[in-house]
Amino acid sequence: MVECRICQEEGSESDMESPCACCGTLKFAHRKCIQKWCNKKGDITCEICNQVYAPNYSAPPPQANSDVIAIDIRPTWGARIDLHDSHFLAIAAAEQELLHVEYEDYSAAHNSGIACCRIVALILMLILFFRQLLMVTSDPLMVQDVSAVFNISLQFAGFLLPCYVIARSCYLLQRQHRRQSWI
């Protein structure tokens, strides 16, 4: 008993064919299964061993793919749009002004939210700073040892450096926003 590699039904070797150079469990298949597979994929070449199926298998004639339709719209668009036309330029300028006004409205409406986020971030940084300060000063024996002082310095640097980066970023963003509002 052998199994058809396509439909996986068992049958005797006499009912199966070995149409290509594949071996092992992929060697045998029903003739009708192979032909159905060839019709489905459109050729008679084994996709595993790349050998042509033999004897007497046929590939279906190539069919036009009805799902793919190419439409060329370039000739109709190219003749209509003149980039130097005054009407086209006026429409583009009006659209740009409309977008700029909408952006200004959006920006003005959300400035209070941005300021609130900055205040919350600064408050959290101050709370963390005071927590760190209380942890260090609560144990006076830690300050007496030189290595402990170095360790405390590193802890403060590890806290203050990100705080500086955040504060500097906020300052640069505000400065850039002020420059844009002057223009």
Written as one string, the DSSP assignment of 49-85 is T--B--SS--PPPP---TT------HHHHHHH--TT-
Q: Where are the domains of the chain?
A: 1-61, 81-182
pTM: 0.35
Per-residue pLDDT, 111: 66
Per-residue pLDDT, 108: 62
CB 136 within 8 A of CB 142: yes
Side chain identity at residue 128, one-letter code: L
Per-residue pLDDT, 71: 67
Angle at 78 between CA 73 and CA 82, to 5 degrees: 150
In sequence order, the 6+-apart residues with CB closer than 8 A to the CB of 143 are: 136, 149, 152
CB 53 within 8 A of CB 19: yes
Per-residue pLDDT, 166: 83
Per-residue pLDDT, 129: 78
CB 21 within 8 A of CB 49: yes
Per-residue pLDDT, 182: 65
Architecture of domain 1-61: 2-Layer Sandwich (3.30)
Q: For residues 25 and 3, what is the distance between their CA atoms, to the nearest angstrom? A: 7
Question: For residue 45, what is the DSSP state?
Answer: B
Angle at 16 between CA 11 and CA 17, to 5 degrees: 160
Q: For residues 103 and 90, what is the distance between their CA atoms, to the nearest angstrom? A: 20
* Mean pLDDT for back-to-back runs of 10 residues, the chain (183 residues): 89 87 88 88 86 81 64 60 74 79 65 73 80 70 64 77 82 79 64
